[in-house]
């Protein structure tokens, strides 16, 4: 079992949040950047961050809502690129 301290988790959560505010990257991209699972990033940004830094949580929530509203566009772009590469 991985022994990660609460301080290390809090530091990771804040790093992920600050990175998202700076880059506007998706949860998937942040998970790759920080070498953790998408589930971990989701929990970090939606649950843990609220208790650590509420103002930063509100900024993240706006970004996550934007991602949710535009995901159909990103999905369409991915499909288009996939089929362009096949031709």
Flag whether 32 is in a domain.
Answer: yes
What stretches of 1-87 show up as alpha helix (H) in DSSP? Answer: 6-23, 27-34, 38-43, 49-52, 54-86
Q: How far apart are CA 44 and CA 8, in angstroms?
A: 12
Specify the pTM: 0.79
- Compute how many other C-beta atoms are within 10 angstroms of the C-beta atom of residue 30: 22
Flag whether 61 is in a domain.
Answer: yes
Flag whether 16 is in a domain.
Answer: yes
For residue 39, what are the domain limits? 6-86
Using one digit for the tens of pLDDT, what is the confidence trace for 3-14? 789 999 999 999
Number of domains in the chain: 1
Flag whether 1 is in a domain.
Answer: no
Flag whether 10 is in a domain.
Answer: yes
Flag whether 50 is in a domain.
Answer: yes
Flag whether 34 is in a domain.
Answer: yes
Using one digit for the tens of pLDDT, what is the confidence trace for 10-61? 999 999 999 999 999 999 999 999 999 999 999 999 999 999 999 999 999 9
């Amino acid at each position: 079992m991985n022994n990660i301290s609460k301080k290390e988790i809090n530091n990771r959560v804040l790093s992920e949040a600050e990175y998202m505010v700076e880059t506007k990257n998706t949860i998937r991209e942040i998970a790759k950047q920080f070498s953790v699972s998408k589930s971990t990033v989701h929990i970090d940004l939606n649950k843990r961050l609220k208790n650590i830094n509420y103002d930063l949580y509100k900024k993240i929530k706006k970004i996550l809502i934007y991602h949710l509203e535009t995901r159909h566009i990103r999905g369409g772009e991915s499909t288009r690129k996939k089929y362009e590469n096949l031709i």
